[in-house]
Structure 1
Amino acid sequence: MQIPYFPHINHPLVKSLFDHSDQELLTLFQQYPDSGKYFTVIFCRYSSILYTLSWHSARSPVQADYLFAVIWRHIFYQLGKLDLSSQDGLTLQNWLINMTGFYINKIELPPTETIHYSLENTSPPLWCYIEQALDQLPPRSRLMILMSQRFHWSETKIAAYLQAEGEEISLSEVTSCLEESYRMLEAKLPADIRAIYLNEN
């Protein structure tokens, strides 16, 4: 087993928070939902532990990467309402390990050949914030991005599908709509996530 290396751990926005305690990071994450750096630092701090647990529960490296990412996606949505002070003696590390064990037993992994997720291309924090941004897009924009990215449909196939559904849309309009949808998606990502992962200043 090789623990993945995540280059964004060296980004100045991430490194500047290394001295913060887990509780401070959790509080900042909850207080500033439009900032992604706090969740990213929590991810960097505990990714190796959670990846090791995921690895031992999957049948293949592809499944391990996917399980690891899906667990972090669940954690992302749970962290927003986590109150460690109400649970005597519970640390963030213990909570993360407990949640990982819970989801390892709950998640039914798809066959390796049907998994299209790449840990190398999309780190879990970026995936979480992309999904959050997707939820804020107009329905047609979201649908077109999903057809293009998740199902790898060509623009011709997307146009044919939408036309079959009764929409009056040409191939050139699909192309321009997709371009605009990607611009909207990127604009809805937190500014620090764009800086960390997309190299925006």
Structure 2
Amino acid sequence: MLSIPTFPEANREILRELTDYSDRDLVSLHQLHPEQGKFFTALFCRYGAIVHSVVQHAVESQAQADYLFAIAWRQIFEELARVKLSADSYATNWQNWLIDITGNTIDRIEVPPADRIRYDLEAASPPLRCYLERALDRMPPLSRLIVVMNQSLKWDEHKICAYLQGEGQQIPAASIPHYLAEGYQQLTAAVPEDICDIYLYHRELNIASES
């Protein structure tokens, strides 16, 4: 039997302060303040167990369930910015919408075998992944590429340098650490401050791969 994970970020004071906010308030505040991540993260903590229980029925292993769970929340994140739900019976409409998005994700995603999945739910909770991916999208292409090669592929400066030279970028290996430091600064600066407070206050920035 698969297990439903716990979400330790729910115990952070910044999120406990939102406990009494309604779903409608959290959705509205998320849409009004996209520069803040706490409202989306509060919704995730509130409904993470429900979404995970839904995706479990579509897979066979814990690794596959966690992978699909992360994909579902990325889709929720992308669509939540523009969703408009009826004010009547908002709680029901919101939960139905959430389950519909999760079901649509299950239907369209081909989940890889468990032994090919590298995603670690404990290392990168879905809200952190969502904001990291958005931050990566906003980085200059070269900085983003170098950071991803170092963090996700675990390439050292010599292998990164060789790849870049093969792509026509004449950057010496000795300069790669400078590009990496600059890239990580750009990435951290692009992540909402409250997300850094919730997830990154006690560890180094980590970009986890999904598979």
Tell me, yes or no, whether TM beats 0.5.
Answer: yes
Which position in structure 2 is the counterpart of 1:104?
Answer: 106
The worse-fitting range, judged by mean Cα deviation, of 79-88 and 65-74 is: 79-88
Count of matched residue positions in the alignment of Structure 1 and Structure 2 = 200
Which shifted more, 109-118 or 66-75? 109-118
Match of 1:147 among 142, 146, 149: 149
The aligned residue for residue 18 of structure 1 is: 19
Distance, in Å, in 1 between the alignment partners of 2:142 and 2:88 is 43
1:36-115 equivalence runs, <5 A = 36-85=37-86, 90-115=92-117
**Most deviating of 28-37 and 163-172:** 163-172
Please list every run of at least 4 consecutive aligned residues from structure 1 whose deviation after the TM superposition is greater than 3 angstroms: 86-90
Pairwise CA distance, 1:4: 1.0
2:10–2:16: 8 Å Cα contact kept in structure 1?
A: yes
8 Å CA contact 2:3, 2:62 repeated in 1 = no
Compute the TM-score of the two structures, normalised by the length of structure 1.
0.94
1:32 Cα deviation from its structure 2 partner:
0.2
Gaps of 5+ in 1: none
Check the 8 A contact 2:157/2:177 in 1, yes or no.
yes
Output the CA distance in 1 between the equivalents of 2:81 and 2:101.
14
> What is the letter of the counterpart of residue 48 of structure 2?
S
Give the AA of the match of 1:112: A
- The alignment's TM-score, normalised by the length of structure 2, stands at 0.90
After superposition, residues 23-34 of structure 1 pair within 5 angstroms as 23-34=24-35
1: CA distance between counterparts of 2:175 and 2:115?
Answer: 33
> Cα offset for 1:87?
8.4
Contact map agreement 2:86 2:93 (CA 8 A) in 1: no
CA shift at 1:88, angstroms?
7.6
Identical pairs, percent = 47
